[in-house]
Chains A and B, each alone.
Chain A
Amino acid sequence: MAMETLTRDVPSSMQHHNNSSISNMKHSYVQLSKTCLDEDAQINKKLPKELLLRIFSYLDVVSLCRCAQVSRAWNVLALDGSNWQKIDLFEFQTDVEGPVIENISRRCGGFLRQISLRGCQSVGDGSLKTLAQCCNYIEYINLNGCKRITDSTSQSLSQYCKKLLSLDIGSCSMVTDLSLKAISDGCPNLTSVNISWCDGITENGKFFTFVFFLFYIFYNFEGVEALAHGCPKLKSFISKGCTRMTTRAISCLAQHCTQLEVINLHGCNNIEDEAVIKLANNCNSLKYLCLANCSLLTDSCLVSLAEQCYQLNTLEVAGCSQFTDIGFLALSKTCHLMEKMDLEECVFITDSTLFHLAMGCPRLENLSLSHCELITDEGIRHLSTSTCASEHLAVLELDNCPLITDASLEHLINCHNLQRIMLYDCQLITRNGIKRLRTHSPNINVHAYFAPVTPPPSTGNSRQHYCRCCAIL
């Protein structure tokens, strides 16, 4: 029902009633009750339209659509553009066609500030062009997973929406470099861009489906370079799985967008040290950095990050297997604000890294050491005696660390805030060790391959051998 309200044009809502085959008498009754509701209803008498409008402005999409069906007067008020500044269809309905978007954009007009069409797969370029034309003041637009859109959407956005601050075109497999160029021309205020997970297209235009997270994207350095020149206010740059991303593109980004705070280069595996060093030198306010699976990187980029970016609080370097203790030693000396570190498969790190992290990063909450095979109980002991352990550490991942034994679990009893610990494939961990940890901190969520303890089968359900009277006898 609510969806119908959206799709219907404003003036046709009354005609709709007229067209339907109601008898004349019934029709007049409807009219009568309408006027009753509209003009004589208590709420409309008591509250002026301005106040009603104000109340409506706090409602979400679903409630607004419901209100729009109450009466004609309310219909006008509820569908007033001022109520529709933020629209998120993801939680509401993603299975929408183009006309819905066009109606929304006509209704909202210049009021619209934020719109999320995440996962609306059937939305195409045409309706988004209407959106861009009608709503010139959009600041935040999320088109993640709108697979049918192409470069032409970005072009209309850049042409009409000059105030754009945030753009998400992740998983839109048909967009190319041209989009980034267009955006960089038209939207100088852009602070946040997400171009990740675009599957499907390689340079030859062949379609592939890749195993799980290995997606390809058709960006190369030219697009990103243009973006760097055009949008110097960029704060967040997310491009997961863009395997064609080059060192040069990132260097260029670093030179021009010095305000960058969030950078995600997950799986951009052609990135070399130089790119990260440039980032570290220019973007000193970096807070979040993900370099997962950039396997060409070495310690020198960690060292330069340590020298320049003291604000860093999240570092994800899973799969950067060339990192060693030296890099993390440097990092732990300066980046004291570190809260989350993902060191999965940094196979060279040893207990000494843990020792330094325990000393240098007192705010550490989330630490992943999966597949760090050189870690031993000694390292965990250092970690557990530090301040971070006793106060902050909430998640610790130790799966596939073959040298970890029950002794580590004994040490971890000191971590009062620990909520989750991963112990998959740690062969030296025993069931009893986990049981001991659980008795000390019952709320902890231990992940291991042990079968759960099944409650004993309840005896109540089993069939009694004798009926009650026989039992008494």
Chain B
Amino acid sequence: MDLDDNFPAAKRIITEIQNIVNSDSKLKEFDLVIQPESQNKSPVIYVDHCLGLESWCVRHVYEYVYQRLISIRKRLKRQVSNDTIPLLTSALLINPEVLTFWNMRRELILDGCLKPDDELQFSAVVLSFKPKCAEIFTYRRWIFFNILKDFSSNHVILNELTIGLTAAAGYPSNYNAWNHCYWFIQKSLEQENYSLISHQWEQTKTWCSEHVSDHSCMQYRQRLLKCLVADKKCLQHLECCTSKSLMRFFNSDERHKLMRPSEDYFDEAIGVALDELYFNEDLIVMYQNHESLWNHRRFLCYLLLDIYNIDCIKEALMNNERRVSTKLSRSNELYVKKHVLWLQTALCIPIKLL
């Protein structure tokens, strides 16, 4: 009760925030607005579907909601109550990293006080403020997995992938966001929906070329690539032409050797991996000294041998890597050295730098 006297406006502020969240289904962003001095006007700013909170009140509002929520949580008899919703909304907007508060919202969903669709919308708004917060992603996945239980519609998953991508753009190397995307790709694969993975493969290619230092994005692509080469069905929807990379990688007599025992599928799988290898080379040439690009290259070399470990591929890879290393040895000296050493020790591919 002490707190009430200290800052009675807090209640009014959180009610105002809750009203905005309830009434605007197109709300897209939340952020703090730097305003160290308080005037006698509402610190809640609402313009053009964006919600802002002036920074002077954040501390007091959070103190208010936190104390209340914790005391509610500590009660033995956990009464489900609609009064906690505005408290939770403000608390999570300000600090979404408190798992307890998300759990309280989970309970409210289970009791039917909150609607899962509204919750998806709300958590997306919170995500706009803290794009790297793992709790938000976990909460969204929980809603999909436990409440909605529907992974068949492309529309829903595409929307979720877009949200993941937006969050990835909001914070560099946002592993949580990419992980979230991959979880949905996995779910769609379980539903035998193979079109999304190729869609993502192509979409993230441009994204990668715009964010060359983002190793999380590369890692996401690595996971996609693993799925692509592991299952022929995933390759069906891929539109890119892989034969050029094949031609470029193998010289003519090796190509025959490769064609004879294998089916088309192996060609395609190798083709996709090779495509990525050449794409990676382009990026390394364009942007010098980015470790994430070299790490990605390591993975690609490893994967190539892993798919189809025969001598001709090993030889072709050796020739290719020698060519690249020689070409780049001046500009990316440190990384080239590391790369060559790794090829020698891990893959037993002897390359000598000139």
Contacts and interface: CB of A to CB of B under 8 A. Distances in A.
B5 A448 contact: no
A377 to B, nearest CB: 16
A34 to B, nearest CB: 31
A425 B19 contact: no
A473 interface: no
Contacts of B5: 445
Contacts of A209: 115
Given A445-B8, A447-B9, A425 B56 contact: no
B40 A448 contact: yes
Contacts, number: 47
A429 interface: yes
Give the bracket for the number of chain A residues in contact with chain B.
10 to 19
A425 B57 contact: no
A209 B82 CA distance: 13
A424 B7 CA distance: 12
Contacts of A425: 40-42
Contact of A211 (B22, B38, B39, B42): B22
B12 interface: yes
Contacts of A450: 9, 38, 40
A48 interface: no
A446 B79 CA distance: 31
Interface string A403-429: 000000000000000000001111101
Nearest to A448: B40
Interface string A445-464: 10111111000000000000
B60 A449 contact: no
A448 B57 CA distance: 12
A10 to B, nearest CB: 27
Among B12, B40, B57, the most chain A Cβ lie within 10 Å of the Cβ of B40
A171 to B, nearest CB: 11
B19 A211 contact: yes
B262 interface: no
Nearest to A147: B112
Contacts of B41: 425, 427, 449
A32 B156 CA distance: 69
Nearest to B3: A452
B40 A451 contact: no
A212 interface: yes
A448 B115 contact: no
Given A209-B115, A424-B12, A449 B40 contact: yes
A448 B39 CA distance: 9
B43 A449 contact: yes
A430 to B, nearest CB: 8
A447 B19 contact: no
Contacts of A452: 6-7, 60
Contact of A449 (B22, B38, B115): B38
A423 B40 contact: yes
Nearest to B7: A452
Interface in B186-215: none
Nearest to B81: A119
Interface in B47-75: 56-57, 60
B345 interface: no
B159 interface: no
A424 B8 CA distance: 10
B153 interface: no
Contacts of A211: 19, 22-23
A427 B38 CA distance: 11
A211 B22 CA distance: 6
Nearest to B56: A451
A451 B6 CA distance: 9
A424 B9 contact: yes
A415 to B, nearest CB: 19
Interface in A337-352: none
B19 A449 contact: no
Interface residues of B, number: 20
B57 A212 contact: no
A445 B6 CA distance: 9
A451 B60 CA distance: 8
A102 B5 CA distance: 45
Nearest to A428: B40
A448 B38 CA distance: 10
A196 to B, nearest CB: 16
A446 to B, nearest CB: 8
A63 to B, nearest CB: 18
Interface string A200-223: 000000000101100000000000
B76 to A, nearest CB: 12
A450 B57 CA distance: 9
Contacts of A449: 9, 38-43, 57
A334 B23 CA distance: 42
Nearest to A209: B115
Contacts of A426: 40
A425 B8 CA distance: 14
Interface centre among A94, A445, A450 (most CB of B within 10 A): A450
Contact of A451 (B12, B38, B42): B38
Contact of A424 (B40, B60, B79): B40
A212 B38 contact: no
Interface in B111-132: 115
Interface string A304-346: 0000000000000000000000000000000000000000000
Contacts of B19: 211-212
A427 B40 CA distance: 6
A447 B42 contact: no
A447 B11 CA distance: 10
A430 B12 CA distance: 19
Nearest to A210: B22
B18 to A, nearest CB: 8
B349 to A, nearest CB: 57
A450 B13 CA distance: 12
B72 to A, nearest CB: 16
A211 B57 CA distance: 26
A426 B9 CA distance: 13
Contacts of B115: 209
A449 B7 CA distance: 8
B209 to A, nearest CB: 45
B7 A429 contact: no
A47 to B, nearest CB: 34
Nearest to A420: B8
30 contacts: A94-B79, A209-B115, A211-B19, A211-B22, A212-B19, A212-B22, A423-B40, A424-B40, A425-B42, A427-B40, A445-B5, A445-B8, A447-B8, A447-B9, A448-B9, A448-B40, A449-B9, A449-B38, A449-B39, A449-B41, A449-B42, A449-B57, A450-B9, A450-B38, A450-B40, A451-B38, A451-B56, A451-B60, A452-B6, A452-B60
Interface of B: 5-9, 12, 19, 22-23, 38-43, 56-57, 60, 79, 115
Interface of A: 94, 209, 211-212, 423-427, 429-430, 445, 447-452
Q: Which 5 A-B pairs have the closest CB atoms?
A: A451-B38, A447-B8, A452-B7, A452-B6, A449-B40
Given A425-B40, A448-B9, A449-B43, 18 more contacts: A94-B79, A212-B19, A212-B22, A423-B40, A424-B12, A424-B42, A426-B40, A427-B39, A427-B40, A430-B40, A445-B5, A447-B12, A449-B57, A450-B9, A450-B40, A451-B60, A452-B7, A452-B60
